[in-house]
Amino acid sequence: MRIGLSVMMLLAAALQAGENLLPNGSFDEGGKEALHWEKTDNLTSFWRNDGQRGRILELDTRPDRKQVLAYREERKRNPDAPAPKAVIPKEPLKSIGSNEGTALDSMLLDVKPGQDYKLSIDYRGAGTPFVWIKGFMIHPKRKTLTDCYQTRLAPPGGAADRWRSCSITFRPTPQTVKMKVRIYAYWPAGVYWFDNVRLEEITPAEAAELRRKRAETEEKNVN
């Protein structure tokens, strides 16, 4: 009986290793909208179907900046306001990508103090988007959540028509109690696709190894 129990505990530990802390990182759960993620605006952000990958996120930074800003204002008043048909300016400098860009946020997650994390994503597209980790602390006086930490994953360049996976490691500052993922694209004005966002707890040794590998990759890209 004792042996049985410890085998079961080992199995449970193995299952926990590499567990995705981010619910629905594949975007596949949910109906019209992906569960546990912000709603798309259907002007600069869309849920798409991509065969074996299931649902993926598309960010489009080509639409006209003035049109997007006007629609964002309208959505603040009425979150169900239908998206207009996108106007794509001939001059990319007039696009939303030339300035504010567009983003989609995950739900908030708890942060363990002193914990090393690994953030990974699959990305396809021509530009370099940013996958942010936004960290929050409890404001000492107002007792509300307030920004206190951020880091970002910038997928390395590559063939625009091929999916690539990339990851970073990070450890939020000690006062950070909550965090979320923000998928963000801006320049060049274009279309960016994402899938399989993962957030995992890793050991300090795994974090050091990941940093070393990433430094090697970056050096290779420079040469």
Binding site for Ca ion (CB under 5 A): 26-28, 53-55, 195
Paired tokens of 180: 């979320």
In the chain, alpha helices (H)? 2-16, 65-77, 204-222
Minimal distance, residue 26 CB to Ca ion, in Å: 4
Closest distance between Ca ion and the C-beta of residue 157, in Å?
A: 23
Of the pair 29, 201, the CB lying nearest Ca ion is at: 29
Within its chain, how far is the Cα of 53 from the centroid? 16
For residues 54 and 84, which CB has a smaller minimum distance to Ca ion in the complex?
54
At its nearest, how many Å lie between Ca ion and the CB of residue 187?
Answer: 26
Instruction: Provide CB contacts within 8 A for 187, sequence distance 6+.
Output: 61, 97, 98, 101, 127
Query: How far is the C-alpha of 221 from the C-alpha of 156, rounded, in Å?
Result: 8
Distances (CA, A) of 9 to 3, 18, 139: 10, 16, 39
Quick one: 64 or 122, whose CB is closer to Ca ion? 122
209, β-bridge pairs: none
If the CB atoms of residues 58 and 195 are measured against Ca ion, the closer one turns out to be 195
- To the nearest whole angstrom, how small is the minimum distance from the Cβ of residue 35 to Ca ion? 12
